[in-house]
Chains A and B, each alone.
Chain A
Amino acid sequence: MAERVGFFTDSSVCIGCKACEVACKEWNGVPDDGFVFRATSYDNTGQLGADTWRHVAFIEQDGRWLMSSDVCKHCTNAACLDVCPTGALFRTEFDTVVVQPDICNGCGYCVPACPFGVIERRERDGRAWKCTMCYDRLRGGLEPACAKACPTDSIQFGPLDELRERAAARLERLHADGVDEARLYGESPEDGVGGTGAFFLLLDEPEVYGLPPEPVVTTRDLPQMWRWAGGASIALVGAVAACFLGSRR
């Protein structure tokens, strides 16, 4: 297995140019996601989805603009992958999470399973799609198209350990400069999804960017859930037995 790689998206230097969105579409042949003027901000794509694998959030606040390029988090404990019944979703040698479109049967289970609302079924072809971290480029020794295209290095690609160090240094620097609201999101292996392969430096609370503040991989509770189902099964059999008691022929 190759070293685990990931993205560190430093939103403090994002200029909202959307080069990442364009580069992603170009390289991966992602279909048009509609030319919509949303009238809320300079955001054109709205949210991640089957046809939007990088999404630049644009937030207008008093006295400042926040911009951040969102992407699949390539979770350490990925709910989408856990629940996929066909094995279409798999973990690559780079520790990323990828859908194999030739296997996906479009059951749609991964869609509500993702705690970040990333993966989506494309209704036109019936299958689930999301960022592959440019799996083909990684195998060819190239960096993903979005990171390559980013003019400010807001999107940084590399070995995850190295990125975490770089992010910690950047955070320290920002705090020293008085940017107290700077924080990292997804970098901690202690969080509810075991840390993400794509993590962020944000300048406000995650929910302001449309990110869940405390995401959890729900399969974490699965043993408990199977136990409750076991209890319910026994209750069902017991109830049926009770219905027949006394009416034995």
Chain B
Amino acid sequence: MSRGGDSTATVPEADFRSYYGQPVLKPPVWHVPHMPLYLYLGGLSGASSVIAAAARLSGHDRLALAAGVTAFAGAGLGSGFLVAELGRPERFLNMLRVFKVTSPMSVGSWTLAVHGGLTAAGAASAVTGLLPLAGDAAVLAGALTGPVMATYTGVLLADTAVPAWHAARRELPFLFAGSALASAGAVGMLTTPRAEAGPARAAAALGAVMETAAAAVIERRLGLEGEPYQRGKAGLLMKASRALTLAGGLLATVAGRSRTLTAASGLAITAGVLCTRFGMLEAGKASALDPKYTVVPQRERAAGRRLAVVPDQENGSHTP
């Protein structure tokens, strides 16, 4: 048994008991860089397919082509990282053995399979010019699977016992959606002639704002469970992410003026959203490895419940 707390810390640490300071939980086993790269590529592919469909509908043909090919490449490369991350990659197809809504990973695998097929068909038709009608249908259908690709990863992380992830369950899908939109906008403006890349630049700026806002809400709302996002390696990555994404987003609003600005904006955003993914994994690992983040909030929850059933106690309102 040991009391928690670091006597050198300037802010008093929460007092709690643990088994020799050992973690209560097992940290996520996912590796760097596979898992963060998959999160990036999956989100990029998802948001790009929505952009491709909108570009198709509004007659931005060059942007539609670039976004469609990006959507396909993101899904393809992402699947590669996903398979490589498995303990038994040769059994990847077991993912499609059952369909379970209780498993975000199952929902994600099926979505990825369908989305990968649609984006491949859309890109093949756009590049070769064959079967244009079927190609357009695939591109439009990709606008349905794309948003799921871009947001399910938020649920994937949140549906775990990892304190920093589960506590952020409301914001994570928005964070991932914003991040995906920013990354798709960035790649869109890097791969489309400037004259036609207006909507991509707008997407990059809007996505950057959305991601930054969601991350800010996580830091404000979470309290103790939000601490891992601000400390250590995860804290550095999240800070870098915010600086790069916001700077890139701001640049995107003026990037139409020159190639240099476009490149600077696109690269800054890409680096920023990559930092977000790596930071999320780091924060999750750190929060699972320190028993403080498991024990203290659970103790507070228990105390809140006890207060709630005893009337006349000063306010026992705790978020469940």
User: Which one, B24-32, B260-268, B308-316, is touching chain A?
Assistant: B24-32
Of A109, A121, A212, A235, the residue contacting B174 (CB under 8 A) is A235
Interface residue count for A (Cβ, 8 Å)? 78
Q: Is the CB of B103 within 8 A of A243?
A: no
CB-CB under 8 A from B177, the residues of chain A are: 232-233, 235-236
Query: In the complex, which of the residues A57, A104, A108, A225 contacts B30, with contact meaning CB atoms closer than 8 Å?
Result: A108
Whole-angstrom CA separation of A205 from B1 in the bound complex: 10
**What's the A-B contact tally at a CB cutoff of 8 Å?**
264
Please state if A249 and B59 are interface contacts (CB–CB under 8 Å).
yes
Is the pair A237, B199 in contact by a Cβ cutoff of 8 Å? no
Q: How far apart are the CA atoms of A80 and B286 in the complex, in Å? A: 21
Q: Which A residues touch B284, using CB under 8 A?
A: 112
Residue B173 CB within 8 A of the other chain? yes
* Given contacts A218-B161, A233-B148, A240-B181, A207 and B295 within 8 Å (CB-CB): yes
Quick one: CB contact mask for A50-89 with B, threshold 8 Å, 1 for yes? 0000000101110000000000000000010011111110
Q: Taking the nearest CB of chain B, how far is it from the CB of A86, in angstroms?
A: 4
Alpha-carbon distance A231/B301, docked complex (angstroms):
27
Q: Is B302 an interface residue (CB 8 A)?
A: yes
Cross-chain contact A228 with B295 (CB below 8 angstroms): no
Instruction: Please indicate the chain B residues that have their CB under 8 angstroms from the CB of A248 in the complex.
Output: 58-59
Q: In the bound complex, how far is the Cα of B30 from the Cα of A106, in angstroms?
A: 10
Chain B nearest CB from A2 CB (Å) reads 24
Cα A219 to Cα B28 with chains together (Å): 17
- CB of B256 to closest CB in A, whole Å: 11
Asked if A212 meets B151 with Cβ closer than 8 Å, knowing A41-B20, A109-B105, the reply is: no
CB pair A105 B87 closer than 8 Å: yes
Chain B residue nearest to A89 in the complex (CB): B103
A12 at interface (Cβ–Cβ under 8 A)?
A: no
CB pair B94–A228 under 8 Å, yes or no, is no
Known A-B contacts A85-B105, A218-B166, A237-B50; the reply to A243 vs B97 at CB < 8 A is no
Interface string of A218-230 (1 = CB under 8 A from B): 1101101110110
Contact of A213 among B51, B104, B147, B299 (CB under 8 A): B299
CA distance A111 to B30 in the complex (A): 10
B29 to A243, Cβ gap below 8 A? Answer: no
A169 at the interface (CB under 8 A from B): no
Q: Are A239 and B98 in contact (CB under 8 A)?
A: no
Q: How far is the CA of A212 from the CA of B176 in the complex (A)?
A: 29
Interface string of B185-208 (1 = CB under 8 A from A): 100000000000011101100110
Bound-state Cα–Cα, A106 to B90, Å: 10
Question: Are the CB atoms of A83 and B105 closer together than 8 Å?
Answer: yes
Contact with B along A121-134 (1 / 0, CB 8 A): 11101111000000
Q: Which residue of B lies closest to A236 (CB)?
A: B177
Partner of B155, one of A79, A111, A226, A235: A226
* Neighbouring A residues of B47 by C-beta, 8 Å: 236, 240
State which residues 95-117 of B face A: CB under 8 Å: 95, 97-98, 100-106, 109
Q: Are A218 and B160 in contact (CB under 8 A)?
A: yes
Find out whether the CB atom of B19 lies under 8 angstroms from the CB atom of A207.
yes
For A107, A113, A221, A231, which residue has the most chain B Cβ atoms within 10 angstroms?
A: A107
The 8 Å CB contact of B94, one of A88, A117, A122, A235, is: A88
Q: Report yes or no: A86 in contact with B148, Cβ–Cβ below 8 A.
A: no
B150 touches A236 (CB 8 A): yes
Query: Does A200 count as interface, using CB distance less than 8 angstroms?
Result: no
Chain B residues lying within 8 Å of A120, measured Cβ to Cβ, are 26, 29
Known: A211-B24, A236-B50. A107 touches B86 (CB 8 A): yes
Instruction: Determine if B180 is an interface residue (Cβ-Cβ < 8 Å).
Output: yes
Is the C-beta of B283 less than 8 angstroms from some C-beta in chain A?
A: no
Q: Are A244 and B55 in contact (CB under 8 A)?
A: yes
Q: Which residue of B lies closest to A103 (CB)?
A: B94
Task: Report how far A46 CA is from B20 CA in the complex, Å.
Answer: 10
Is B159 a contact partner of A219 (Cβ separation < 8 A)?
yes
What are the interface flags for B160-172 relative to A under an 8 Å C-beta threshold, 1 for contact and 0 otherwise?
1110011001101
Query: Which residues of B195-245 have CB atoms within 8 Å of chain A's CB atoms?
Result: 198-200, 202-203, 206-207, 210
For the complex of A and B, list the 6 residue pairs with the smallest distance between their C-beta atoms, beginning with the closest.
A106-B87, A126-B87, A210-B19, A233-B147, A232-B173, A105-B91
13 A-B pairs (CB sep. < 8 Å): A60-B1, A79-B161, A87-B98, A105-B86, A105-B89, A113-B160, A207-B19, A207-B291, A211-B24, A232-B147, A236-B181, A239-B207, A240-B47
Apart from A108-B28, A229-B148, A232-B173: 7 A-B pairs, beta carbons within 8 A: A104-B91, A122-B87, A207-B18, A225-B169, A236-B151, A240-B181, A243-B185
